[in-house]
Structure 1
Amino acid sequence: MSGASGFDATGEELCCAAFVRLDGALRVLAARAGLSDRYDVVAEGMQHLMASLGGQELDGKVLGAAFGENWGLDARYAPELPGADFFREGSRLVFIALVAARPDRQLTPEQGVGKAVDAAAAWPSDVRIGSFTRLVDFELACQKEAAERLRSAGLPALRELAEARAEEYRRVAEALPPLTGGHAGALPS
């Protein structure tokens, strides 16, 4: 990330924060689909990417492993499982974030932040988060709050906020009814 302009760094920070929020639900969905082992590698790479924004040196092997596991992960999530569209858009956010982190970036972190909105808009049911009944409205409020928090208090405060909001996403995913009929979930490895 060294050499990124202030705007790009801000975009990367907000993109990673969007992932941290969505990670609350993505972990639950991955576990239901039998994809936890693969998803954990993806999440580790994204956590590493966020740590690099705070000054930790980027490790290409960690990011490469995350990219490799994320590639096609959404295709392994059975389309009939609840949250499939959310999972697909969340995987696209990861793809954009990892590509945008490369020196020869062809995508922007802002596109990843947009994918967080797409994922939330794809949520299959109404939610109960404070006064919000649509996950997309909650995500848009989170994005505004995240930008303000980053501007006023910096990256550590942004990460703390994102982790708190991830709990809301986790609760929403846990409330999603499971698919009935004994479907096993993921496609074969």
Structure 2
Amino acid sequence: MARIPDEVIGRLKREVSVERLAEARGVKLKRHGEDLIGLCPFHEDHSPSLVISPKNLWNCLGACRRGGDVMEWVMRAEGVSFRHAVELLRNEIPLAARPAGAVLKTSTVPKLPLLFGPTAGDQAVLQIVVSYYHETLKETPQAQQYLIKRGLGSPEMVKQFRLGYSNRTLTFRVPESGSSSRCWGALI
């Protein structure tokens, strides 16, 4: 994967406001000297322990003892990796990048909710496929060697994350018809 340019990271740190991100999560902030304080959204909080500095950094002085910049905030709030946090900030949180008094020139129409989600049948089929690929990995020495070469070959890691290998034989296991054929078709 390509490295994220330092210019992009620097621009996000300068342009995206931790204050705006905190307010978007429902944190009510109050001025305390030069800093802003509020209840930390990352743990059960009854007295203000979240501090946002004028340097666009945040710190929790309460139970979670976390802190950092805008990327750390998004990683913690959304439970994502650094790379995913950068992508979220670049693509899905454009309003947070605007200064507080800036004129909005983009649409504020919210994303539509999904009309339907995965069914129990979809989940069952997914579990079957994951198990199949996991077993295929355990039975394929070339795939295991590839993981070892990439530093991912420890048996504990393979088991914990249920890593798998697709050797394109799943299509021979698909049922011809039935209620779950729609699910199978989506996975192949």
Higher relative contact order (CA 8 A, sep 6+): 1
TM-score, normalised relative to structure 2: 0.25
Higher strand share: 2
- Bigger fraction of residues in helix: 1
User: TM-score, normalised on structure 1?
Assistant: 0.25
